[in-house]
Structure 1
Amino acid sequence: MSLSTALRRQTPWKPLLRRYRPFSTSPEDGPRPPRPPPPPPPPPIRVGFTESAGRGVFATRPIRAGDPIHTAKPLVTHPSPSLLHQVCYFCLKKLGREKSAVSLPIQDGGSVLYESASASTIRETICFCTEKCSEYSKGFYEIERRADWSAFDEHCREQEVKYPLLVKRFACMVLSGASRADALDILQPARLFPQNILEMEEEFRLLKDAFLTARIAYDQMSFLTKDWYVGTLARIRINAFRVEFAGGSYEDLLSMASASVIANAAVGNAVYMLPSFYNHDCDPNAHIIWIDSADAKLKALRDIEEGEELCICYIDASMDHDARKTLLLEGFGFQCCCPRCMADD
């Protein structure tokens, strides 16, 4: 008998030892923390190019009617002038009477006060729904409240324009470092006419004068040129959404093919990145809604096949053909060729 065979026979407990791991008091052998949940899957969409409408949004898999597609946070927002004291100055959430709003302090220890949109002598408080919104706004609002906006705001009221207010806020965001001056350059600009340029030049002058009066440093305002203002406003004019809070349940909204409701229901306007890539259709397969803030939610109105383009309706889809045609051409600069319009429906 060989020596190795003898040794194996003298250790009958060796197979038992193989069944057990050595005991250790190392903390590494203690209970392991639970694994973090996997990240949510990406939205079932991609941005591509269409045959006739430039960029568009396409489904990467089948989407069922009623399914959420994705959510989107705004790049810039501004409340309706008539609702400055009724909605959050940042996220546009309505301020309920039972909720305690947060207002930013000013240097003299008072509240942040603004002239109401009615131009009356009553001054209203600019409020935020939470400390979080107040903190997010601190950068651009520190810039905004240093300037006298009476001439600029009066011009917007007299001309009944709202998009320059979004440019004003975006400029304050750039000055505060909260955004880049070219953050909106990826968006498609509106087609402008000579009369549009003349109006924009006056608005640009009022905007820059307000910053100069507030003693904003010239090097900070190097981006603020007439070309920048015109280009930014041209992009905002065609890409801004009117934020209107939905009433009822999601199920109720599935029967709504209209992208807009009553104009007075708007709490403000907002510009988004991905939602701006959705093209228009008078019989859309997707719908953008807002529940209680400027965070947009897109849902499928009907079953959508993989590879199909997702479209929303830019206007009230219940209007007749001639009204839709005029509004789309004058407001958005294109003539709709969707099946409904081609059939004069």
Structure 2
Amino acid sequence: MSLLLRRLLSTAAHGPLPIRVAFTDSAGRGVFATRPIAAGEALHSAQPLLSHPSRALLHEVCYSCLRRKPGKGGHSSGGCYFCSDACREHAKGFHGIEKNSDWSLLDDHCSLRGLKYPYMVKRLACMVISGAVGADCLDILQPARLHQGMISEMEEEFELLDSTFRKAGFQEELAAFFTKQWYINVLARIRVNAFRIELVASSYEDLLSSAIASVSCDASVGNAVYMLPSFYNHDCDPNTHIVWMQNADAKLKTLRDIDEGEELRICYIDASMDVNARQKILAEGFGFECRCLRCLSGD
């Protein structure tokens, strides 16, 4: 277990977390209650290791924390929106790398194929080059199962990224970590661990904007990858859920009373879908057949 994960498990704002992470033979990992937990109790919060705004909302949400842009005001830099000086300072290093490179070829490639995760790898690579994170910061997370068609597409994306970085003058920095295998390994982990961030509406205007975005099939403000939330297993009838109130900081809460020793599970997808739709999406997107009690009952 990584030092970062140990620290996350040992302390919280209100004392020790009421959970433990276990590595099991069946699922490979799991999060369990260390004491009875009441319905609605906050388990913990988590800041993202990596986040990226939706392409459609690049100028409407914070480049750093994904907070929505208010009606007026805000800070901008290089065409991006920052909700505060703190966020602008936090992103200063990797934003400088990202804004000074020409990403048009990658943009065209991703737009044509409807891809979003290559942008997250691009962001991570910029963070590594700037020294904000280590190249191995996602290695502890579970990767997706890849088939040859996916790998071939990833190799094409890698070539676009590699060419762009080198044209921008980062040959020396790339030599230390940026290989085709690194790109594939990182993207494989992002594919199954990235959360779709949908902020809770704080006003009528936000609610209206969210409704319009939902109609246009882009209700999320972006995507983010976390450490501890990525260790929660799936259930189509979950006992825990994640909410995002103002930005990409995730808050995990229980949906019902939890017994000591009970596994805490979240739903990776839209739980309102029927069993066939859920099984299809989980198999194709996450690489497993769900055998939770709800699916086994045919609900």
TM-score when normalising by structure 2: 0.89
Matches within 5 A, 1:250-265: 263-265=217-219
Distance in 2 of aligned mates of 1:39 and 1:244? 24
Q: For structure 1, which segment, 53-62 or 39-48, has the greater mean C-alpha deviation from structure 2 after superposition? A: 39-48
Unaligned stretches of 5+ in structure 2?
Answer: 1-11, 204-213
Match of 2:137 among 183, 196, 208: 183
1 or 2, which has the higher helix percentage? 2
In structure 2, the residue matched to 1:161 is 115
User: Greater relative contact order (Cα 8 A, min sep 6): structure 1 or 2?
Assistant: 2
Give the alignment's Cα RMSD to 1 decimal: 1.7
Distance in 2 separating the partners of 1:248 and 1:143: 33
Match of 2:297 in 1: 343
| 1:175–1:221 Cα contact (<8 Å) kept | no
Q: Which runs of 5+ in 1 are unaligned?
A: 1-37, 105-111, 113-124, 250-260
CA shift, 1:39, in A, is 6.5
Q: Which residue of 1 aligns with 2:98?
A: 144
- Kept in 1, the 8 Å contact 2:41–2:253? The answer is yes
Q: 1:101 aligns with which of 74, 84, 88?
A: 74
* Residue 81 of structure 1, aligned match among 55, 59, 72: 55
Cα distance in structure 2, aligned partners of 1:210 and 1:266: 27
Amino acid at match of 1:102: H
1:57 aligns with 2:31: yes
Q: Deviations over 1:106-126 (max 9, x none)?
A: xxxxxx1xxxxxxxxxxxx31
Contact between 2:48 and 2:224, CA under 8 Å: does it hold in 1? yes
Residues 8-66 of structure 1: CA deviation (Å, up to 9, x unaligned): xxxxxxxxxxxxxxxxxxxxxxxxxxxxxx96312111100345211000011111001
Once the 2 structures are TM-superposed, how far is the Cα of residue 246 of structure 1 from its aligned partner?
2.2
Q: Give the Å deviation of 1:278.
A: 0.3
Matched letter for residue 320 of structure 1:
D
User: What aligned pairs does 1:305-320 form with structure 2 within 5 A after superposition?
Assistant: 305-320=259-274
Q: Distance in 1 between the 2:284 and 2:275 partners?
A: 14
The corresponding residue for 2:252 is: 298
1:220 positional shift: 4.2
- Determine the structure 1 residue equivalent to 2:277: 323
CA offset digits 1:298-320 (Å, max 9, x no partner): 00000001111000000111111
Distance 1:219 1:172 in 2: 10
Q: Per-residue deviation at 1:137?
A: 0.3
Q: In structure 2, do the counterparts of structure 1 residues 84 and 161 end up closer, same or farther at CA, with 3 Å as the change threshold?
A: same
Aligned match of 1:228: 182
SS of 2:22's equivalent in the other structure is: strand
Higher alpha-carbon Rg: 1
2:129–2:173 Cα contact (<8 Å) kept: no
Amino acid at match of 1:69: L
